[in-house]
Amino acid sequence: MRALVLGLMLATTACSLTSRLDLPPPPVAAAYPVALDGEAVPEWRAMFGDPRLQRLIALALNENRDLRIAALNAEGARAQIGIQRAQSLPNVNLDAGYTRQRQPSGVAGAGVGVTPGENTGITFGQVTAQAALTSFEIDLFGRLRAQNAAASERYLASREGQRAVRLAVIGAVADAYLAERLADEQLRLTRATLADWQDSLRLTQQRHAAGQSGGMDLAQAEGQVRQAEADLAQRQREHMQASHALVLAVGYPMLTDLPEPIDLMGQPIRTALAADTPSDLLIRRPDIMQAEHELRAANADVGAARAAFFPRLSLTGAFGFASLALQSLFQSANQSWSFSPALSVPIFRGGELKASLDLSRVRTSIAIATYEKAIQTAFREVADGLAARATFTAQLDAQKAAVAQAKRRLALTRLSHRAGVTSRLELLDAQRTLYAAQQALLSARHGELTSATALYRALGGGA
């Protein structure tokens, strides 16, 4: 018992060969190229106000397989901590046994005055019971503590990885939903445009039959309708594919009781998000926090590799009782014990220890580069999001004005065409211009919303 207490005292006063880790300075500018005022990053339900989108995100957070895998990885890392910590504690086993044996008299009586042949043999039984301490290592140089620290940091990294996957799932569902909304509205616009152009074709056919227009006008009207029919087939395909992508992002078949969707132009997604300084990303972005914990784990591995060069002291002991009869087993005269300290000093390992240390140092350098890369990537994503926010408002205003102008032009061109002032070709051009302007407006609005979602993720989200 005194030896065990002494061993525990040595373990608590042991030194550590893990050097202190100083994180490298962020390899980015101190401020973003574009600075905008706005609201703080909200929780995801406040960010995405569409009730249909909220239902889909909530469903994905329960059903998405990537998120399940990340959660299981975190649980596995936590279990690994328990395995690693157990190596720092003594293993105590309680053993009990009974042995029955027979020895020839010539063997059993050798040296005690028993002559071979006087008896045929000796039969006896033995009962044992003992508590054994098996190979408890005294962590003199912090090898086990370094391994414990590495396991703990990797668990924290897996937790941050789970947060990163959760944020990515939210963003992926939002992006897939917006893509599905865009495809749906482009499909509706194409159908309405096709119907309008079919009406125009029927009017042209009537005028051609009455001899009021030539074959060129009829051919142009028919070509325009056929192109719209081709666009309709393309939009139908894109809408089906966008719907499939949304189901995959959610990880569950589409529900039938979802709220009615909101059009892109009326989507209540917050676009006025603001960023403070790049240093805020170091504590908000889960992928940066994950890279930091991986770096700390790699640094702890270097400490464990250094400690492997030094001697290891281990203790093995047992205390128990042994008796020929069970009823007298626990008498004081039948006590037995053993105590076996062992010292292991590495002399020659063929370069294995040095190679392990070199490998740990290389992995630490890789972890540093990964950490710095995560910061640079985050800086770029936030800068891109702020740049998008600064320009999309002007683009949308200009595109809305272009749509309004195209509508006015088409109305005037129709009046002029009916009066015989303008040609059929000019009417076709006005129709195509309006159609293209409306499609561009939908694309611009979709781009504004997806850039807001990307900025939300880049700022760390509210996950």
Arithmetic mean of pLDDT over the chain:
86
Do 107 and 23 lie in one domain? The reply is: no
% of the chain surpassing 90 pLDDT: 43
Q: Say which CATH number the domain at 356 has.
A: 1.20.1600.10
The strand pair at 312-323 and 91-103 is best described as: unpaired
Q: Which residue has the higher pLDDT, 369 or 328?
A: 369
Residue 277, pLDDT > 50, answer: yes
Task: Tell me the β-bridge partners of 98.
Answer: 127
Q: Residue 320: how many CB atoms within 10 A of its CB? A: 19
pLDDT at 107 over 70: no
Neighbours of 292 (CB within 10 A): 23
**Residue 110 clears pLDDT 60, i.e. is over it:** no
Query: Does 11 map to a domain?
Result: no
CB count within 10 Å of CB 182 equals 22
Do residue 134 and residue 147 come from a single domain?
no
The residue assigned the tokens 């087939």 is 233
**188 Rama class: left (phi>0) / alpha (psi -120 to 50) / beta:** alpha
Q: At residue 16, does pLDDT exceed 60?
A: yes
The model's confidence at residue 119, banded by pLDDT at 50, 70 and 90, is low
In a domain, 430, yes or no: yes
Three-state DSSP string of the chain: CHHHHHHHHHHHCCCCCCCCCCCCCCCCCCCCCCCCCCECCCCHHHHECCHHHHHHHHHHHHHCHHHHHHHHHHHHHHHHHHHHHHCCCCEEEEEEEEEEEEECHHHHCCCCCCCCCCCCCEEEEEEEEEEEEEEEEECCCCHHHHHHHHHHHHHHHHHHHHHHHHHHHHHHHHHHHHHHHHHHHHHHHHHHHHHHHHHHHHHHHHHHHCCCCCHHHHHHHHHHHHHHHHHHHHHHHHHHHHHHHHHHHHCCCCCCCCCCCCCHHHCCECCCECCCCHHHHHHHCHHHHHHHHHHHHHHHHHHHHHHCCCCEEEEEEEEEEEECCHHHCCCHHHEEEEEEEEEECCCCCCCHHHHHHHHHHHHHHHHHHHHHHHHHHHHHHHHHHHHHHHHHHHHHHHHHHHHHHHHHHHHHHHHHHHCCCCCHHHHHHHHHHHHHHHHHHHHHHHHHHHHHHHHHHHCCCCC
Asked if 269 and 411 sit in the same domain, the reply is yes
CA-CA-CA-CA torsion for 319, 322, 328, 333, nearest 10 degrees?
A: -60
- Asked if residue 440 belongs to a domain, the reply is yes
Question: Does 220 or 395 have the greater pLDDT score?
Answer: 395
Same domain, residue pair 24 and 159: yes
Question: Of the ranges 109-123, 282-296, 338-352, which is most confident?
Answer: 282-296
64 with 119, same domain: the answer is no
User: Residue 4 has what pLDDT?
Assistant: 47
Task: Identify whether 6 is part of a domain.
Answer: no
Identify the domain containing residue 125 by its residue range.
91-138+317-345
Looking at the structure, tell me whether residues 429 and 401 fall in a common domain.
yes
**Is there a single domain that holds both residue 331 and residue 272?**
no
7, part of any domain: no
Q: What is the mean pLDDT of residues 242-265?
A: 92
Both 30 and 66 in one domain: the answer is yes
Cα 456 off chain centre by: 16
Q: Which residues contact residue 148 at a Cβ distance below 8 angstroms, ignoring those fewer than 6 apart?
A: 81, 84, 85, 88
Which of 302, 329, 345 is the C-terminal boundary of a domain? 345
Write down the pLDDT at residue 10: 47
Does one domain contain both 249 and 356? yes
Q: Look at residue 411 in the predicted model and tell me its pLDDT.
A: 92
What radius of gyration, in Å, describes the C-alpha atoms of the chain? 39
Compute the average pLDDT of residues 279-291: 88
Does residue 189 share a domain with residue 288?
A: yes
pLDDT digits (tens, 9 = 90+) for 369-410: 999 999 999 999 999 999 999 999 999 999 999 999 999 999
Residue type for position 317: G
Among residues 292, 325, 345, the one where a domain terminates is 345
Domain match, 75 and 184 both: yes
Q: How many domains does the chain have?
A: 2
What is the band of 1 on the pLDDT scale with cuts at 50, 70, 90?
A: very low
* Full-model pTM: 0.82
* Ramachandran angles phi, psi of 448, nearest 5°: -65, -45
My answer on whether 370 and 427 are in the same domain is yes
Q: Is residue 54 part of a domain?
A: yes
> Residue 57 has what pLDDT?
94
Q: Evaluate whether residue 398 is within a structural domain.
A: yes
**pLDDT tier for residue 334 given thresholds of 50, 70 and 90:** confident
